[in-house]
């Protein structure tokens, strides 16, 4: 154990970031093990930097660290990292259809050794340099201990407990069961996966100030038969892992990917209801499959009507969103711990200039009144009255200084990991269905009620919306065709 800690501590920030490949690694110590021999700069490959600019509607409070792979059952990937100072983290493996094939969340990651701690579990305080590791399988099976070379064993580590399978395509996205498909539609081809992407997500990430710079994880390519690692150079030369999309493109079935998008967005029916009479906007949930989407996120979106833009841009009116915020996780940058009483791990609202996210507001930036309600005011021009302050329970953002603000046309809500008994997240809304319905609404008081008040009409103290009934779990019949699901309120 002491030897392992010394080896890991010796992997400096400089060495992990420089990553210069070698033709062959250092001589293997047969008395050591896989980590003492291969957790070294010659073998470790850092996930690509996931800093994002909001392309494809991403959340600006998140990082999406990525590495691309080609399936070869002679090898497997060993990923290593430290539990990050972040609100949420997960590994997601996508197949060559860009569909989720496997994933693991932060609280499910078992520590590398018994003396490490996972602060994403209840009542555990955050500490730096707490390690985990896992395996991403390409279908080659579990290594045979009898063929593992000396110095290459993983015995004694909790690695295979954190297991992800990249060998098979996601069968749940298939359209082969559907009737009345157009003649041009190709069949969904399941079975063996060829290649894909692994994304490590972090939301509201903090600094990595420990000895080990592993909040952004690394992978090591390992031979299944012998347990020996490939050097970085060998891994890239053999095409097992790579960073550039250009190397991934030849393995992707482009027609089938396009068909999957068409099937989800066009062919599958929508369930539509009249808009909420208390709100000037129409929230809907999107399709079940989102290319390279987060399986732990629920998404709602709404179009900002074009008729309201002139008074918004002139500063005559504001966008006002009023809603109740769920009981949120607040770890770990505030020093708090998971209690088990959280209703939701993460909430955000993004404003989009299709397809780019202009701004993201996360739950930690919202002011709550004594009853837990938010009164969020968005300005696209002009100034707010002096009394629009946190002391009066207002949260105010002025977007007029952001490039492209005059072209904002959409809002998107993202909710991550709701408690199983909580009914106020975007996950409560069925796919391709409007949030409001004749029974009241799937999210109740947790969905934002939106209006566009005149500056002079804002009260001195923020007001809560009218009581908002919910119909969680109840799906009324939709309006019959040819009802238009795209509704712009007057």
Predicted local distance difference test score (pLDDT) of residue 485: 60
Please state the rounded mean pLDDT for residues 190-214. 94
> Quick check: 92 and 64 in contact, CB under 8 A?
no
Predicted local distance difference test score (pLDDT) of residue 486: 55
3-state helix, strand, coil in the chain (%, to 5): 15, 25, 60
Please state the rounded mean pLDDT for residues 422-446. 93
**For the whole model, what pTM was predicted?**
0.92
**Encoded tokens for 375:** 């009164």
Predicted local distance difference test score (pLDDT) of residue 17: 38
| Angstrom distance (rounded) from CA 41 to CA 11 | 7
Distances (CA, A) of 347 to 324, 413, 463: 12, 7, 21
Lowest mean pLDDT, pick from 52-56, 86-90, 475-479? 52-56
| Angstrom distance (rounded) from CA 345 to CA 72 | 36
The DSSP symbol for 155 reads T
- Tell me the pLDDT of the chain averaged across its residues: 90
| Angstrom distance (rounded) from CA 155 to CA 152 | 9
Encode pLDDT of 87-143 as tens digits: 999 999 999 999 999 999 999 999 999 999 999 999 999 999 999 999 999 999 999
Is 157 strand, coil or helix?
A: coil
**pLDDT tier, 8 (very low <50, low <70, confident <90, very high otherwise):** low
Encode pLDDT of 328-367 as tens digits: 998 887 788 999 999 999 999 999 998 899 999 999 999 9
Please state the rounded mean pLDDT for residues 209-233. 96
pLDDT over threshold 50, residue 414: yes
**Encoded tokens for 174:** 């298939």
pLDDT over threshold 80, residue 387: yes
Nearest to 200 by CA among 56, 57, 51, 66: 66
17-39 burial code (b ≥16 CB/10 A, e <16): eeeebeeebeebeeebbbbbbbb
Predicted local distance difference test score (pLDDT) of residue 480: 64
Please state the rounded mean pLDDT for residues 259-280. 90
> Quick check: 352 and 134 in contact, CB under 8 A?
no
> Quick check: 14 and 46 in contact, CB under 8 A?
no
The DSSP symbol for 39 reads -
Q: Is the N-terminal amide bond of 363 cis, ω within 30° of 0?
A: no
Predicted local distance difference test score (pLDDT) of residue 335: 81
From the CB of residue 210, how many other CB atoms can be counted at a distance below 10 Å?
A: 15
pLDDT over threshold 80, residue 5: no
> Quick check: 190 and 174 in contact, CB under 8 A?
yes
Give the chain's length.
490
Cα 246 from chain centroid? 23
**pLDDT tier, 262 (very low <50, low <70, confident <90, very high otherwise):** very high
């Amino acid at each position: 154990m002491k030897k392992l800690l010394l080896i890991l501590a010796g992997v400096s920030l400089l060495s992990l970031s420089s990553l210069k490949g070698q033709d062959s690694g250092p001589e293997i110590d047969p008395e050591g093990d896989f980590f003492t021999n291969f957790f070294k700069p010659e073998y470790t490959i850092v996930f690509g930097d996931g800093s994002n600019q909001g392309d494809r509607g991403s959340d600006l409070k998140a990082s999406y660290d990525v590495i691309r792979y080609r399936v070869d059952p002679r090898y497997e990937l060993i990923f290593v990292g430290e539990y990050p100072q972040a609100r949420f983290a997960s590994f997601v493996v996508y197949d060559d259809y860009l569909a989720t094939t496997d994933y693991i969340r932060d609280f499910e990651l078992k520590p590398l050794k018994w003396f490490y701690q996972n602060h994403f579990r209840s009542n555990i305080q955050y500490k730096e340099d707490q390690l985990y590791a896992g395996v991403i399988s390409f279908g080659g099976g579990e290594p045979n201990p009898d063929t593992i070379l000396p110095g290459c064993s993983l015995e004694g580590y909790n690695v295979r407990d954190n297991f992800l399978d990249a060998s098979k395509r996601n069968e749940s996205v298939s359209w082969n069961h559907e009737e009345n498909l157009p003649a041009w539609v190709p069949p969904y081809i399941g079975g063996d996966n060829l290649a894909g992407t692994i994304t490590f997500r972090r939301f509201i990430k903090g600094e990595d100030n420990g000895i080990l710079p592993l909040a952004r994880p690394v992978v090591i390519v390992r031979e299944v038969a012998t347990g020996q690692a490939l050097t970085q150079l060998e891994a890239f030369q053999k095409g097992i892992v790579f960073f550039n999309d250009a190397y991934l493109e030849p393995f992707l079935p482009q027609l089938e990917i396009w068909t999957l998008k068409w099937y989800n967005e066009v062919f599958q029916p929508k369930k539509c209801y009249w808009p909420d009479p208390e709100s000037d906007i129409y929230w809907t949930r999107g399709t079940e499959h989102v290319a390279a989407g987060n399986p732990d996120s629920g998404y709602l979106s709404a179009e900002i009507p074009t008729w309201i833009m002139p008074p918004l841009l002139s500063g005559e009116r504001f966008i006002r969103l009023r809603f109740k915020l769920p009981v949120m996780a607040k770890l770990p940058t505030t020093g708090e711990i998971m209690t088990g009483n959280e209703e939701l791990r993460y909430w955000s609202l993004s404003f989009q200039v299709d397809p780019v996210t202009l701004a993201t507001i996360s739950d930690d930036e919202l002011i709550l009144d004594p009853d837990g309600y938010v009164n969020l005011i968005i300005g696209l021009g002009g100034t707010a009255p002096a009394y629009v302050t946190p002391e009066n329970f207002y949260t105010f953002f002025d977007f007029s200084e952001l490039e492209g603000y005059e072209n904002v046309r959409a809002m998107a809500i993202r909710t991550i990991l709701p408690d199983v008994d909580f009914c106020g997240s975007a996950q409560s809304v069925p796919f391709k269905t409007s949030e409001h319905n004749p029974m009241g609404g799937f999210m109740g008081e947790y969905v934002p009620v939106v209006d566009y008040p005149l500056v002079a009409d804002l009260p001195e103290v923020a007001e809560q919306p009218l009581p908002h009934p919910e119909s969680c779990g109840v799906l009324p019949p939709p309006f019959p065709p040819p009802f238009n699901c795209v509704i712009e309120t007057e």
